[in-house]
Copies of this chain bind each other. A is one copy, B any other.
Amino acid sequence: MARTGGPSRERIVAGAADLISRRGLNAASIREVAKHAEAPLGSTYHYFPEGKQQLATEAVRYAGTAVGRVLSEELGAGPVAGLRAFLALWRGIVVDSDFRAGCPVLAVSVEEPPADEIPPALAAAAEAFEGWESLLAESLGEHGVAPDQAADLAALVVASVEGATAMCRARHSAQPLDRIARQLETVIAAALGRPA
């Protein structure tokens, strides 16, 4: 059965991103990823011959570009609209999963690489963060914020949202995300309205 119909490779990547965001990189096993995507275990190594490292890397890139696409669209209506969309996106993921899911990019970032080499999954996480920061900083710059401050503000937004998602999961409450939402809005409004 399975009446595949769809490209199972992308289902595997998306499922891996979801599972990593819930359980962390090490605890997200390939067997569970395959089961979650209704794909056989053998297919996983067929599509990702380099094993778990490759699968994790693609999962991180998948999440990074998916979030980046939403962010890019909403930033068309201005930095504040983009900020709100960014916050709402993560709030939805955290709350809809009953505080079980979070950000897969963050999950990969907090687990030590096994060797002294930088694993590609960690490099992909760095690129995802930088991509989101760049989008935000660029939008702020287009609205009159100086480049240095725009970069600092973008880092503040990404860092606080990532941290707040983890805090929400620990507390089983969306309060941290809601708190930083208020503060980020006023900070960005001030940067846009009044050249400090």
Residues in A lying within 8 Å of B, measured CB to CB? 22-27, 100-102, 105-113, 118, 122, 125-126, 129-130, 151-153, 155-156, 158-164, 166-167, 169-172, 175-176, 179-180, 182-184, 186-187, 190, 196
Contacts and interface: CB of A to CB of B under 8 A. Distances in A.
Contact of A163 (B111, B153, B162): B162
A93 to B, nearest CB: 13
Contacts of A163: 106, 158-164, 166
Contacts of A169: 109-110, 122
Contacts of A122: 169-170
A172 B24 contact: no
Given A172-B118, A176-B155, A106 B27 contact: no
A151 to B, nearest CB: 7
B170 A22 contact: no
Nearest to A121: B170
Contacts of A179: 151-152, 155-156
Number of identical protomers = 2
Contact of A109 (B113, B130, B170, B184): B170
Contacts of A184: 156
Contact of A167 (B100, B109, B180): B109
Contacts of A105: 170
Contacts of A158: 163, 167
20 contacts: A27-B27, A27-B111, A106-B110, A106-B163, A106-B166, A107-B110, A107-B111, A109-B170, A126-B171, A126-B172, A130-B171, A155-B176, A158-B167, A159-B159, A159-B164, A160-B160, A160-B180, A162-B167, A186-B196, A187-B187
A176 to B, nearest CB: 5
